[in-house]
Amino acid sequence: MRSEDSSKSEAQESTIEDLVRLYLQHVYRVLRRAGVREADCDDVTQEVFLVVARRLDSIEAGKERAYCAGVAVRKASEYRRALARRPQLVQTAIPDKASVAPTPEESAASQSQLRTLDKLLAQLNEDQRTAFILIDVEELSFEEAASALGVPSGTISSRLHRARSALAALLKTSEGKELGHDY
Amino acid sequence: MTTDDSAHSDQVLKSLIASAQGDSCSPNLSAKILHRVRYEEEKRRRQSRLLFSAGVLSVAAAAALSFFVSSARQSIPVSPERQADSAAVQPPPPALPQLCANPVVAEGRVPLFDDFEDQDARAPQREGRRGLWELITDRDMNKEGPFPAFPQLLPEAERTAENQRAMNIAVARLRDWGASLEYRFQPEHCYDASAYLGMRFRAKGGTRLQVAARQPEVIPVANGGSCETDCYISHLKLIDLNHEWTEYELRWEDFIKRGYDSKALDPSRLHSLQFAVQSEDTPADLWIDDVSFISADEE
Report whether B251 contacts B197 (CB < 8 A).
Answer: yes
CB < 8 Å to A49, chain B: 33, 36-37
What is the pLDDT, as a whole number, of residue A29? 94
Average pLDDT score over residue span A142-171 = 90
Share of chain B above pLDDT 70, in %: 84
How many beta-carbon pairs below 8 A join chains A and B? 148
Q: Report ipTM (2 d.p.).
A: 0.74
Report whether B282 contacts B171 (CB < 8 A).
Answer: yes
Q: Which of A50, A71, A74 sits opposite B40 (nearest CB)?
A: A50
B287 band by pLDDT with thresholds 50, 70 and 90: very high
B176 touches chain A (CB under 8 A): yes
B23 touches chain A (CB under 8 A): yes
Q: Which of A114, A125, A164 sits opposite B175 (nearest CB)?
A: A125
Rounded Cα gap, residues B143 and B146, in angstroms: 9
CB < 8 Å to B230, chain A: 51, 71, 74-75, 78
Whether the pLDDT of residue B71 is over 50: the answer is yes
Whether the pLDDT of residue B233 is over 90: the answer is no
Q: Which of A49, A55, A171 sits opposite B9 (nearest CB)?
A: A171
What is the pLDDT, as a whole number, of residue B81? 46
Q: How confident is the model over B86-104, as pLDDT tens digits?
A: 444 444 444 434 778 889 9
Q: Which of A46, A81, A87 sits opposite B33 (nearest CB)?
A: A46
8 Å CB contact of A172 and B9: yes
B284 touches chain A (CB under 8 A): no
For the stretch B264-269, contacts whose Cβ atoms lie closer than 8 Å and that sit 24 or more positions apart, written own/partner, are: B264/B235, B265/B213, B265/B215, B265/B235, B266/B194, B266/B215, B267/B192, B267/B193, B267/B194, B267/B196, B267/B213, B268/B100, B268/B103, B268/B190, B268/B192, B268/B193, B268/B194, B269/B100, B269/B103, B269/B190, B269/B192, B269/B215, B269/B216, B269/B217
Tell me the one-letter amino acid at B50: L
B270 band by pLDDT with thresholds 50, 70 and 90: very high
Interface test with A, best of B10, B21, B176 (most A CBs within 10 A): B176
Whether the pLDDT of residue A104 is over 50: the answer is no
8 Å CB contact of B34 and A29: no
What is the pLDDT, as a whole number, of residue A114? 86
8 Å CB contact of A80 and B138: yes
8 Å CB contact of A41 and B25: yes
B232 touches chain A (CB under 8 A): yes
Q: Which of B6, B223, B229 sits opposite A85 (nearest CB)?
A: B223
8 Å CB contact of B176 and A35: yes
- Backbone φ, ψ for residue B250 (5° rounding): -120, 120
Q: How confident is the model over A14-54, as pLDDT tens digits?
A: 488 889 999 999 999 999 999 898 888 888 999 999 989 98
Report whether A115 contacts A98 (CB < 8 A).
Answer: yes
CA A146 to chain centre: 15
Find the closest chain A residue to B28 by CA distance.
A42
Distance from CA of A94 to the nearest CA of B (A): 14
What is the pLDDT, as a whole number, of residue B235? 93
Whether the pLDDT of residue B52 is over 80: the answer is no
What is the pLDDT, as a whole number, of residue A80? 84
Whether the pLDDT of residue B289 is over 50: the answer is yes
For chain B, give the mean pLDDT: 82
Lowest mean per-residue pLDDT among B125-134, B138-147, B248-257: B138-147
Whether the pLDDT of residue A145 is over 50: the answer is yes
Interface test with B, best of A13, A78, A124 (most B CBs within 10 A): A78
Find the closest chain B residue to A121 by CA distance.
B175
Q: Which of B1, B176, B223 sits opposite A80 (nearest CB)?
A: B176
Rounded Cα gap, residues A128 and A35, in angstroms: 14
Q: Which of A45, A113, A127 sits opposite B19 (nearest CB)?
A: A113
What is the pLDDT, as a whole number, of residue B86? 42
Rounded Cα gap, residues B219 and B183, in angstroms: 13
B228 band by pLDDT with thresholds 50, 70 and 90: confident
